[in-house]
Amino acid sequence: MRQEIEQAIAVACQDLFAAVAEVQLTRPDEQFGDYATNVALHLGKDLGKNPRDIAQTLANNIKSNLSEIISDASVAGPGFLNLKLTDEALVKLAAEKTAQTLAGKTVVAEYSDPNPFKVLHAGHLYTSVVGDAIANLLETAGATVHRVNFGGDVGLHVGKTMHVILQRLGGENPQALTGIPESDRSEWLAKAYIEGTETYDSDPQAKASIIELNKRVYQLHSDNDRQSPFAQIYWTCRQWSYDYFDNFYNRIGSHFEKYYPESETAEAGLKTVREHVGSVFAESEGAIIFKGEDYGLHTRVFINSQGLPTYEAKDIGLIVKKWEDYHFDRSVVITGNEQQQYMAVVLKAVEQFAPELATATTHLTHGIVKLTGGVKMSSRKGNILRAADVLDIAAEANKELTGQDNQQTVLEAVKYAFLKQRTGGDIIYDPAESVALEGNSGPYLQYAHARACSILAKADLQPAELNQLEADERGLLRKISEYVEVTDQAVKELMPHHVCTFLYELAQVFNRFYEHNRVVGDPRQAIRLQLVHTYANTLKNGLELLNISAPDRM
């Protein structure tokens, strides 16, 4: 309907003033109407006419030609055109669905991206939560979305970890791994990585050994070696990491249809880079580089002097593999902000030989997850804020507040606390605020839905025509009608926080409505129950977009 009104105003501008105008409707304060546009101000400047006169001429035209949609069109200020919808049009608008702007499109959403042999930190939890919500937004706009994951099962961090593991096992002794309890495995690997990093930085002899182990790991993939003692240790520990990842994803409700390990993308990356040496990449001191300075970026190594692929080459291999697997129309990649310049170089390199893949790739970044008053931590030093720590801290805050240990409530409280913040900056997480039943929190919205359900349970819902609405009734319906526009905006910008902001505002509007308007037992019960039902469904749909449940009772 919004586009219909915008088009009608644009046609009126052409017919009445022979002017081509780009009309954009906005939502003014309720007292001014349901929509507003400043198109008359632009036309006045272009045509040298009084904007108020232009706006009044447009108002008369719109009232005449869109009488079934527009009940009133008025001029305000220097020439703003304010529009009020008919009740029937408002009902229709509130029932609209998210625009299917991505119907028939294939989108690959890549996020979370943990590395085997390392611990999952708060950033992995954040990007998993945000990635799930963004994937949902893409799906609600009609796209076929493939959720994938990428991580480093080869590379120097593996060499560092394997160096310590071999020391702990007394050499290449895979049987010794059986003595590690299942519950301790992820922590055991994490500590090995930390110790290996410290040793690499402080012991030149150990550093040389780690570099050789790194080569051996690449070689066992190349040889498809699963039988040698070294290979058995590697594959067993890698599987421990994957089991740990799977358990965590099951805990938070995330799922991926494919996991791309770097060992699979490395070969494709090496092949692709070498094919374009001379045209895109250049040799330099035995390595192969991309001269990013030529494009206002910085130079990076894609194949090192030992012939091994760097992260850059592996990422090129990943792009190639994703294209081979899905022939995507769009690829969305979500990482931390520290990867922004790195990915700019990778995509610029890809642009030189496959511009369509670079153009189709959207790189979204996010900041650091910190507790209130916290600081950034590092997995290299072992003082990280782990993903599980965030959930445990939230559980403690919830138990202190409610006396209950509800893991699902805690998880969804954390999800909402992450999602309500605009993606891009640092994420400041306040455990107590996230689990509170008041304020802009997940539990508050869940309680709001349960409250609506309790009202509906008190009387039978009967069909009712939503017309001749009273002011408060219309105000609630007007807010509900914004849902589709908010989701359209969230899809366009890939920003779930728009949905959170709307849901919180919607719950507040409903609370004010219910405070001043009796529902059950009122002569307007049928109409108001219908409004409560529509409100509850809208709240539920929005929460489910965020992967948060909408309970009938709390």
Q: What is the CATH number of domain 2-85?
A: 3.30.1360.70
The pLDDT tens digits of the residues spanning 59-101 come to 999 999 999 999 999 999 999 999 999 999 999 999 999 999 9
Residue pair 142/214 in contact (Cβ under 8 Å)? The answer is no
pLDDT greater than 80 at residue 373 = no
The pLDDT tens digits of the residues spanning 295-307 come to 999 999 999 999 9
CA separation for the pair 89, 467 (Å, rounded): 10
Residue carrying structure tokens 């040889």: 223
CB neighbours of 365 closer than 8 A, spacing ≥ 6? 334, 335, 336, 337, 339, 340, 424
Residue-range domain boundaries for the chain: 2-85, 106-260+312-361, 367-436, 437-554
Looking at residue 467, what is its pLDDT?
Answer: 86
Predicted confidence (pLDDT) per residue in 159-188, tens digit: 999 999 999 999 999 999 999 999 999 999
DSSP conformation letters of 525-545: HHHHHHHHHHHHHHHHHHHHH
| Over residues 208-233, mean pLDDT | 96
CATH 1.10.730.10 assigned to domain 437-554? The reply is yes
Mean pLDDT of 462-481: 94
pLDDT reading at 372 higher than 90: no
Q: Is the dihedral of CA 81, 84, 89, 94 positive or negative?
A: positive
* CA pair distance 355, 374, nearest whole angstrom: 41
Tens-place pLDDT, residues 395-454: 999 999 999 989 999 999 999 999 999 999 999 999 999 999 999 999 999 999 999 999
Which CATH number is associated with domain 106-260+312-361? 3.40.50.620
pLDDT at position 380: 43
